[in-house]
Amino acid sequence: MSKREARSGRAPTRKQVARSRREQEQLRLIYIGLGVVAALIILVLAFGLYQTFVAEPGAPVAIVNGQDITTGDYQDRVRYERFLLEEQYQQVLLQQTQLAQSGDEQLAELLVPQYQQLANQILQQRSIVDRETVNTMIDDKLVEAEASARGITVSEDEVTEYINRFLAGRLGGLTAQSASATSTARAEASATAALWTPTPTFTPSPTITFTGAITPTPTPADTPTPVPTPTLNVIGNDSLGTEYTNWLNILAENTDTDEGTYRQIMRTVVLRDKLREALAEEVPTAAEQAHARHILVETEEEAQAVIERLEAGEEFADLAAELSTDPGSAADGGDLGFVPRGRFVDPVDEAVFTLPIGEVSEPIQSQFGWHLVEVLEREVRDLSPQDYLQKQRLALSEWLSDARVEADIQDLWTVDKAPQDPFLTQ
């Protein structure tokens, strides 16, 4: 009804009433339509937020014996591991620059290539860290299950001490607990250092591995002069507390890692160390060992020529002394002494422990050249301190290898699971 009609007191016609009802229905439909559109927009936004902050972070990158490794936890760990490698890389470049600017050309010529090798190694690790982090987290799940079965736990104090040792290292020192352990280890090492002589073995040239600040190791003189034991630099709790705060701020700024996430990562590291120690204690002190000798040459043709000379009656030891390119054994007629499994590269190790006694192998290729191997005897013997320590160090990796075979592992990782990598856009 119009205002004029209301003032005149006339009732609206049927046509006017129908039109008014149509208009009201149209308005109602418009409002309903707007409400539906608004609801759809809200649903789309909500779904996007759910996918971004709930579904995707909660989706597994791997499942280990029914336990999920979530994308969110994986991305947190990747950002942390990337940052550690990037920090190491920058440290190596800084030390390399400082060495080049030191004015000591002879020392720089000796060490700069080693720094460059370290830098290349870190870059190589950096290029595969996204994938390797999944493997690390899978191993963490296996370690956690085994530790639980053995009753191995990690306390908050142990996590704190581990972090403090790391922080003290950043400050160029040790925690009080580490300093005490170091002093004890020095005393034990001094008491046992002269009790055995290492057996000469065939080993590749040493590979440099970055472990922190790098300092040259001088070659000892013919008659070394005793040097006083240096005083250990013990970092106090106040300095450690300040450095902890600084480190957490650095992690938050560069990796979005909060304190809880960081301590959880450190907990997995400590737990792995404790399982490593438990497994190391179970390593037997005796093992099957083989007394072998070998000749190493550069090409297969040279190896075949050596075989022909052996078949013609020449002595293995004489040919090793004449032809072998392994400086560690050539002077001893190729003799490697008694060695346990795992001492050599895989193809040589396999031959040493499967070849019939007294038989010379066919040419065996490795990254070092071509080998001819002869096994003189095999028997169970006590391990040398060096070999026993090596067996202890390998105990965890060997256990993990077996555990992976037995575990139910679903590896769901794809490249898009990794967080955005600013390193690739630099």
Per-residue pLDDT of the chain (426 residues; tens, 9 = 90+): 555 555 555 677 777 777 777 778 787 888 887 878 877 777 666 565 545 554 556 799 999 999 999 999 999 999 999 999 999 999 999 988 888 888 888 888 888 888 899 999 999 999 999 999 999 999 999 999 999 999 999 999 999 999 999 999 999 999 988 777 666 555 544 444 444 444 444 444 333 344 443 333 333 444 455 555 567 889 999 999 999 999 999 999 999 999 999 999 999 999 999 999 999 999 999 999 999 999 999 999 999 999 999 999 999 999 999 999 998 899 999 999 999 988 899 999 999 999 999 999 999 999 999 999 999 999 999 999 988 988 999 999 999 999 999 999 999 999 999 998 876 555
Q: What is the pLDDT of residue 423?
A: 61
Q: What is the pLDDT of residue 82?
A: 96
Is residue 1 domain-resident?
no
Residues 359 and 256 in one domain: no
Residues 350 and 312 in one domain: yes
> Cβ(257)–Cβ(79) under 8 Å?
yes
Number of domains in the chain: 3
**Exposed / middle / buried, residue 117 (Cβ in 10 Å: 0-12, 13-18, 19+):** middle
Residues 94 and 242 in one domain: yes
Residues 54 and 105 in one domain: no
- The runs of H, that is alpha helices, within 355-384 are none
Residues 297 and 366 in one domain: yes
Is residue 224 domain-resident?
no
Instruction: Say which residue the tokens 């191995």 belong to.
Output: 152
The token pair that represents 201 in the structure block: 């073995």
Is residue 240 domain-resident?
yes
Choose among 145, 133, 138, 85: nearest CA to 271: 145
Q: What is the pLDDT of residue 204?
A: 40
* CATH code, domain carrying 298: 3.10.50.40
Instruction: Say which residue the tokens 């898009």 belong to.
Output: 416
**Three-state SS at 341:** coil
Residues 82 and 20 in one domain: no
The 10 Å CB-count burial string (b at 16+, else e) for 289-315 is bbbbbbbbbeeeebbeebbebbeeeee
Query: What pTM was computed for the model?
Result: 0.68
- HSE (side-chain half, CA atoms, 13 Å) at 310: 23
Q: What is the pLDDT of residue 49?
A: 52
Residues 251 and 141 in one domain: yes
Is residue 9 domain-resident?
no
Is residue 397 domain-resident?
no
Is residue 119 domain-resident?
yes
Residues 246 and 341 in one domain: no
Residues 30 and 123 in one domain: no
Is residue 83 domain-resident?
yes
Alpha carbon distance 418, 198 (integer Å):
46
Residues 163 and 277 in one domain: yes
Choose among 289, 286, 271: nearest CA to 396: 271
Residues 157 and 297 in one domain: no
- The range of the structural domain enclosing residue 251 comes to 72-192+233-283+406-419
AA letter at 201 = T
Alpha carbon distance 136, 62 (integer Å):
11
Cross-strand partners of 287: 381
Query: Angle CA(62)–CA(67)–CA(68) in degrees, nearest 5?
Result: 40
Residues 279 and 315 in one domain: no
